[in-house]
């Protein structure tokens, strides 16, 4: 878009290097070319700006193949305006003298023209092509046909348009058809994957078999070596047992010899101890016999003395009692019988045990009183 500024009723236009500007003043061409810069009056000027750079036009449209399958075509057409004067005469590229903006949409018209022209040639080639061929070689054939058709289109040179390049990006069927077409390939890929899996499993099984055989061989070799080890261990054990038996025999003989010597020494020591003990016992027996004899003699003498002393004391006591009894009898020879009875009761009372209380029944009391009364009467 041109850059337009205002100064006191005048306008100044400054164009871009890729924009071809045409300035008509009063019906006459005053300025013509790209990248111009000039002053003009808006009331008498007619301006048009034609882009001369390469433009990319992306297009997407649907086509139908010979087997009635819908195909989406994605393509890009690169073009440029080679004759700006012709293009400005055929299309409305005029711009507003105050803002520099196009009054219409000329590029949209060019896009519609190119899209419809390319679509026409693409539909023509795809209508005679099957879906499988279109998916395989359709991109190249559509690109060549569209490029040839646009190059041979008479309206494009008459409009000042030059086709630079044509690119077909993709040809895609409907999603359902695309999934259906992918199914055989997927199945084949799955079969290849299954075959690879089976082969890998077969290789794994073979390797496992080899490993198992190697393990079995290793186990057999280990068993053989273990057998040799057991035999060697048996031999070693037998040798150790023989050597241990010989050592035990030597040790037993030495122990027996030592035991015999110890027994002989112990017997000699026991004999000596027995002899010493016998002598000691004999001496003790003699001393004890002497002591016993002496004690018996002393005890006999003491017993004789005690017997003599007891006999003498008994004789003396008897004599004293006899004398006392005789004296007592002499004293009481003239006493009456009642007095003797009273004395007898007194002596008896002195020898009786202590009596705390006496219970006299009426019968006893009556008898006593009767006796006392009879005595008094006498």
pLDDT band at 336 (very low <50, low <70, confident <90, very high): low
For residue 183, pLDDT over 80 is answered with: no
pLDDT band at 332 (very low <50, low <70, confident <90, very high): low
What are 74-89's pLDDT values in tens digits? 899 999 988 998 988 8
More confident: 212 or 325: 212
What are 96-146's pLDDT values in tens digits? 888 888 888 888 988 898 988 898 888 888 888 888 787 877 788 888 888
Q: Which of 171, 176, 174, 188 is nearest to 133 (CA)?
A: 171
Choose the most confident range, by mean pLDDT, from 184-198, 231-245, 347-361: 231-245
């Amino acid at each position: 878009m041109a850059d337009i500024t205002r100064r006191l009723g005048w306008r100044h236009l400054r164009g871009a290097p890729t924009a071809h500007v045409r300035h008509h003043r009063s019906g006459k061409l005053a300025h013509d070319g790209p990248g111009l810069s000039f002053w003009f009056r808006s009331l008498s000027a007619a301006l048009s700006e034609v882009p001369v750079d390469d433009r990319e036009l992306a297009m997407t449209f649907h086509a139908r193949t010979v087997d009635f399958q819908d195909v989406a075509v994605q393509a890009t057409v690169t073009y440029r305006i080679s004759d700006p004067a012709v293009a400005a005469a055929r299309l409305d590229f005029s711009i507003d003298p105050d803002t520099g903006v196009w009054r219409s949409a000329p590029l949209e018209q060019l896009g519609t023209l190119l899209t419809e022209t390319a679509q026409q040639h693409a539909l023509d080639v795809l209508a005679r092509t099957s879906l499988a061929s279109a998916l395989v070689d359709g991109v190249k054939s559509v690109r060549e046909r569209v490029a040839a058709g646009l190059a041979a289109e008479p309206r494009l040179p008459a409009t000042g348009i030059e086709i630079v390049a044509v690119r077909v990006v993709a040809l895609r069927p409907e999603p359902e058809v695309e999934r259906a077409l992918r199914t055989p390939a997927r199945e084949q890929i799955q079969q290849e994957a299954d075959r690879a899996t089976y082969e890998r499993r077969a290789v794994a099984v073979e390797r496992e078999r080899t490993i198992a055989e190697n393990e079995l061989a290793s186990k057999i070799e280990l068993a053989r070596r273990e057998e040799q080890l057991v035999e060697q261990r048996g031999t070693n054990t037998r040798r150790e047992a023989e050597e241990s038996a010989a050592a035990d025999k030597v040790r037993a003989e030495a122990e027996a010899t030592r035991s015999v010597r110890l027994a002989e020494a112990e017997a000699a020591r026991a004999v000596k101890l027995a002899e010493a003990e016998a002598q000691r016992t004999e001496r003790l027996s003699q001393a004890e016999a002497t002591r016993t004899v002496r004690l018996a003699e002393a005890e006999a003498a003491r017993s004789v003395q005690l017997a003599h002393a007891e006999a003498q004391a008994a004789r003396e006591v008897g004599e004293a009692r006899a004398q006392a009894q005789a004296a007592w009898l002499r004293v009481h020879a003239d006493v009456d019988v009642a007095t003797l009875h009273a004395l007898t009761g007194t002596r008896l009372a002195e020898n009786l045990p202590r009596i705390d209380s006496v219970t006299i029944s009426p019968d006893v009391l009556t008898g006593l009183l009767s006796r006392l009364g009879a005595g008094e009467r006498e």
